[in-house]
Chains A and B, each alone.
Chain A
C-alpha cells in the first residue's frame, strides 16, 4: 500500500467526507484569432509581445470585437457536457489589478445577476467509481456522474516571467501579452468528486472530449489547466491554483487532504482561502483569503451588446459537431460488433480511434483490426509509456512509428493466410522496426507457413527417431500427441498449421 492509499483509508476511519470540485480552463487553440481581436490564437511561436495589437493591449479607445467562432466552439463544449445553452448570453467585466491584465479587468461571463454564461446545468458521466478508495477492480465499472455548474467564455491574461522563483528576491519581472485575449473556456463542476482518482479519470475523459470536438490541442503546454477546490469533513473550501499539469493536480489534492485533515485533527479551523501549488516542494502555499478576492466589482460589459443566439442556434451547432466518443463507441458496438470493452479502449483516445478508422480503410475487418490495436499496439505503447516517454496531458501514440496500413495488413495476413499468432507477432515487430509492409515481409523473409505435408512428416520422423519412447507412450496416453505437436511447433518456430500437423502425427504413429 502506498502513501496515497493510506491517506484515503485513513480518511474512511475518521469518517471525513471529501468534496472536490474543479475549474478547468481550456484554450480554444483551434481558433484562428483571439477572442476580441485579430491577433493569432497561436501565440506560442511569437517573440514576446509581438502577437499583440491595440485591442489586446487594451490601448485607450479600443473596443472588443467578439469572435463569433469562439461562441460556436464554446457551445460545442457545452453540448458535449450536456449543458443547457440560453438563448441570450452576455459578457461581464471582472475588475482587479494585476500586471498580466492589460485593461486591469478580465472580460468574462458571470451568473450572479442574470444568466449570462454560454452553458449551465450540465453533467458528464464516466466509468470509474469516484467512491473507490483502492484500486478495487470490481468497483471500477460503476458510472460516476459529475454535475457541471456552468461553462463560460472569457479571455486569457498575459504571462509574467519572474526573475527568481522567490518573488521577494525579484529585481524585475517581465510581462508578455502574446497570450492576452486568447479565448478561454472555463468549465466549473459541482463538488461531486470524492476521490483524487476520480479527478484523474475525469480529466483524461474531458481532454479526450476536447480532442474529439477539435476545439483545442491538449498537447500544447498550458492549453488545458485546472484549479481545484477541496473541502474535508464538510469544512470550508480551499482553492488550489497554479497547477501546471494533470499529474500535479492529483498530487496537490492528496497534499491538501492531508493538510486539512491534520488541521481538523488538531481542532484548527480550515480557512476558506486560495492556495498556490508549489511544484518543487510539492506543497500548497497560502495565497489570499476568499474575502479579499470577492470584490471583483462585476458588471455587464457595455462594449459587447447582449448576444441573441436564438432558438435555432443550438440545433445548428449540434449538427455541425463532430462525432463524440460516446457516439463513436455506440457505433463500434452496434455496427462493427466490437465488444464494449474493446470499443471503450479505442474511443478513449481520439488518435487511437482515428487510427483504427483509418486502418479499416485498408482492410474492412473491424474485429481483427481492433484486436491488433488493443492487444498488440497498445501493449507496446504502454511499455514505452512506462519508460517515461509520455508528456503531460497526452498519451503517446507518437512514440511508435506505425501506420494504420501496417496494422490493416497484419489483420489481413492473419485472416486470409491463416497465419498463427507467434509468426504474426514476429512479422509485426519486424514491420514496426523496419517500416516495411507486412505483406512484403512475409514474401521476402520466406516464413510463410510450412504447409507441404512432406516437410512436416519429415520433422515428425526426426522427433520420433530421437525420442522413440514417445511411440510407446502415445498408446497409453492420448496427450502425447499434443506434446509431440508442441515439439514440432518449437522446431518450426510455430510455422506449421496445427490441424494438419495433428493429422500427420496421428498418421505417422499409426504407420509405425
Chain B
C-alpha cells in the first residue's frame, strides 16, 4: 500500500503498523491532516483543528515506541471530537454563536481517557447547535454535507463526527447521542455508531443538552475500530455521579463464537413497515442475513413507541431550558462586554444569540416546566418513559437483541426539512426509544438505496449488553465488508 493512502485503512491496522514501526505516528498524522485539508472544504465537518498539538503528540508516541515503552489501545490514532465535548485549551463552541470564544480549561473524562490510550485529538467536529437537531443544519458554522451527496444532510446532531469518518478524513470520532444524534448521522453517512448504556460512559465535560437522555459514544467505519475506542472511554467516573461501576471489556469475537451464543432476535416489523420502502426493504435484507447465519428470529412489537416522541421532546426540552440558562456571557461566551447594560437587558441581549431551533426548544422546555403544567407534561412524560423502560425489560426477557431501522427515511436535502419542525422531529422516532429506556443501541451500515444513499440498521440490547450489539455488528459486517460502502470524494 502506498503510504499516502494510509487514511483508507482501518485504525486498528494502522495502529499495529505504528507499534511495529512500519510507519511513524507522525507520518500518519501528517497524511490525515493532508486529507482533511483536501476534503473537508466540501463536507464542513470540522469547526476547529488541533493539528500542531496533534503532531507534537504523535512525535511523543513515536518516541515512546522507539524506547520500547508500552503504548495504549489507540496508539497514534487521530480521533475527532464533537464540539460539545470539552478538550482543554481548544475552542468549545457547540456550534453556537453563544460560545464563539469559549475555550475549555479542562478535559472531558473521555478525552483524558483517549489520551491515556495514546489517541490523538485532531480537531473539533461540526454539529447542530448544542446538539439540537437531526440534520446538522442548525450550526452557526454552516451545515455538514453528506459525503455521499453534498446537497444532502449528513444527519445530526453529530453530523461532523459521522461525515468526517465516512469521508476517510479520520478513522474515529466521538459524538453524543441524546435522541439519536450518533446513530442518525451514522445511518445517513454509512458509518457504525453506538450509543452506550446510560451511565456507562462519563458525561463529565459533555456540554449538556438533556442530561438524563444523552451519552457520548464512538463512531467508526468498522466494528473492529469502534471497539477499542468504546473500551477506552467506558467505565465508572468519580466525576460523574450518574456513571455506574460496571466495567466490562468488550471483544470482537469471531463469527463461530458468536453463533454459539444462539442469540434470539426480535424484529420490530411494524416499525420497519412504517419506514420508507427502500429502508424497509434494506432492513428486511439484514434480517435475512442474520437468519442465514442460523439466528432465531421472531417478529415482535413495542406498543408504546407511539407516545415516545412526545415524551422525549418534553423531557429533552425541559432539561435543555435549564441547562442552557447558564449562557449569559457574564463569565464566558463571546466577545462582548456587559458595560452600559442593566443586567436584565444584558441577559436578553446575550440570549438572543441562540439560533432559532435552540430558542424554540428553550421556550418549549420553559413552558412544560411552568408551575401549573408540570403534572400535565413533564410528570406525564416521565411516566411514559418508565412504561417504555418496562416494556423493553419484558422484551429483553424474551430476546437478546431487537432489530429496527435507525432512520425511517433516507437523508433529506439540505433545507428540505429545516423549516418543518414536526417532520424534522419525526425523523427521531426510532432512535429516541433507546435514550428514553437508557439502553445501548447501535447503527450499522446496511447498504445503499437505489440512488446511492446509505441506509442503517439499528440493533438494541438490554442495559450493559453492548457486547451483544458488537456481536451483531460483527455478523453483519462479515456478510459484506462495510469498506465496500465508501463515498467517492
Residue ranges of A at the interface with B (Cβ–Cβ < 8 Å): 54, 57-66, 93, 95, 97, 99, 102-105, 113, 172, 175, 294-299, 302-305
Known: A297-B369, A299-B318. A59 touches B239 (CB 8 A): no
Highest count of chain A CB atoms <10 Å: which of B211, B331, B344:
B331
The minimal Cβ–Cβ distance linking B478 to chain A, given in whole angstroms, is 38
Known: A59-B105, A61-B207. A175 touches B330 (CB 8 A): yes
Known: A97-B347, A305-B241. A63 touches B204 (CB 8 A): yes
Bound CA span A456–B396, Å: 105
| B370: contacting residue among A57, A172, A295, A303, CB under 8 A | A295
- Which residues on the B side are within 8 Å of A59 (C-beta)? 104-106, 331-332
Known: A59-B332, A61-B207. A113 touches B374 (CB 8 A): yes
- Which residues on the B side are within 8 Å of A103 (C-beta)? 325-326
Q: Is the CB of B325 within 8 A of A105?
A: yes
- Which residues on the A side are within 8 Å of B85 (C-beta)? 61
Bound CA span A299–B325, Å: 14
- Which residues on the B side are within 8 Å of A66 (C-beta)? 241
Bound CA span A54–B108, Å: 12
- Known contacts A61-B207, A303-B242; 17 additional CB pairs below 8 A are A58-B331, A59-B104, A60-B326, A61-B85, A61-B86, A62-B205, A63-B203, A63-B204, A95-B321, A95-B369, A97-B328, A298-B369, A299-B319, A299-B374, A302-B211, A302-B242, A303-B208
Q: Is the CB of B319 within 8 A of A302?
A: yes
Asked if B378 is an interface residue, CB under 8 A from chain A, the answer is yes
Q: What are 14 sample pairs from A and B whose C-beta atoms fall under 8 A apart? A: A54-B105, A59-B105, A60-B94, A61-B207, A63-B240, A64-B241, A65-B239, A65-B241, A95-B369, A105-B326, A113-B374, A297-B366, A299-B369, A304-B242
The minimal Cβ–Cβ distance linking B294 to chain A, given in whole angstroms, is 41
Within B429-456, the residues touching A (CB, 8 Å) are none
Asked if B102 is an interface residue, CB under 8 A from chain A, the answer is yes
Bound CA span A57–B104, Å: 12
- Which residues on the B side are within 8 Å of A58 (C-beta)? 326, 331
Closest to B366 in A: A297
Bound CA span A99–B328, Å: 9
Bound CA span A296–B104, Å: 29
- Which residues on the B side are within 8 Å of A60 (C-beta)? 86, 92, 94, 99, 102, 104, 207, 326, 332
Asked if B206 is an interface residue, CB under 8 A from chain A, the answer is yes
Determine the main DSSP class of A at the interface with B: loop
The minimal Cβ–Cβ distance linking A90 to chain B, given in whole angstroms, is 12
The minimal Cβ–Cβ distance linking A31 to chain B, given in whole angstroms, is 18
- Which residues on the B side are within 8 Å of A57 (C-beta)? 331
The minimal Cβ–Cβ distance linking A301 to chain B, given in whole angstroms, is 9
The minimal Cβ–Cβ distance linking A30 to chain B, given in whole angstroms, is 23
Q: Is the CB of A113 within 8 A of B379?
A: yes
Bound CA span A420–B217, Å: 85
Bound CA span A113–B330, Å: 32
- Which residues on the B side are within 8 Å of A302 (C-beta)? 210-212, 242, 319
Asked if B293 is an interface residue, CB under 8 A from chain A, the answer is no
Bound CA span A354–B242, Å: 43
Within B315-343, the residues touching A (CB, 8 Å) are 318-319, 321-322, 325-326, 328, 330-332, 339, 343
Bound CA span A103–B99, Å: 15
- Which residues on the A side are within 8 Å of B3 (C-beta)? none
What are the 6 A-B residue pairs with the smallest beta carbon separation, nearest first? A104-B325, A297-B369, A302-B211, A302-B212, A60-B207, A61-B205
Closest to B244 in A: A305
Bound CA span A403–B336, Å: 60
Asked if B481 is an interface residue, CB under 8 A from chain A, the answer is no
Bound CA span A424–B347, Å: 70
| A299: contacting residue among B204, B206, B238, B378, CB under 8 A | B378
Q: Is the CB of B242 within 8 A of A61?
A: no
Q: Is the CB of A297 within 8 A of B86?
A: no
The minimal Cβ–Cβ distance linking A37 to chain B, given in whole angstroms, is 10
Q: Is the CB of A298 within 8 A of B241?
A: no
Bound CA span A57–B449, Å: 49
Bound CA span A107–B240, Å: 16
- Which residues on the B side are within 8 Å of A294 (C-beta)? 371
Known: A60-B207, A61-B206, A63-B203. A295 touches B240 (CB 8 A): no
| A297: contacting residue among B205, B331, B370, CB under 8 A | B370
Q: Is the CB of B326 within 8 A of A298?
A: no
Q: Is the CB of B208 within 8 A of A297?
A: no
- Which residues on the A side are within 8 Å of B94 (C-beta)? 60
Closest to A173 in B: B343
Q: Is the CB of B371 within 8 A of A295?
A: yes
Closest to A98 in B: B343
The minimal Cβ–Cβ distance linking A53 to chain B, given in whole angstroms, is 9
Q: Is the CB of A297 within 8 A of B321?
A: yes
- Which residues on the A side are within 8 Å of B321 (C-beta)? 95, 297
The minimal Cβ–Cβ distance linking A76 to chain B, given in whole angstroms, is 23
Bound CA span A97–B329, Å: 13
The minimal Cβ–Cβ distance linking B354 to chain A, given in whole angstroms, is 14
| A54: contacting residue among B106, B211, B328, CB under 8 A | B106
Known: A60-B92, A303-B211. A298 touches B328 (CB 8 A): no
- Which residues on the A side are within 8 Å of B92 (C-beta)? 60-61
Question: B226-242, CB under 8 A of A: which get 1 and which 0?
Answer: 00000000000011111
Known: A66-B241, A97-B328, A102-B331. A298 touches B104 (CB 8 A): no
Q: Is the CB of A104 within 8 A of B326?
A: yes
Bound CA span A95–B366, Å: 10
- Which residues on the A side are within 8 Å of B210 (C-beta)? 302
Highest count of chain B CB atoms <10 Å: which of A62, A105, A172:
A62
Known: A97-B347, A99-B330, A102-B326. A62 touches B204 (CB 8 A): yes
Bound CA span A433–B64, Å: 73
Closest to B333 in A: A60
- Which residues on the A side are within 8 Å of B84 (C-beta)? 61
Q: Is the CB of A97 within 8 A of B325?
A: yes
Closest to B199 in A: A305
Closest to B204 in A: A63
The minimal Cβ–Cβ distance linking B306 to chain A, given in whole angstroms, is 24
Bound CA span A66–B106, Å: 20
Closest to A104 in B: B325
Known: A93-B322, A99-B343, A102-B326. A61 touches B369 (CB 8 A): no
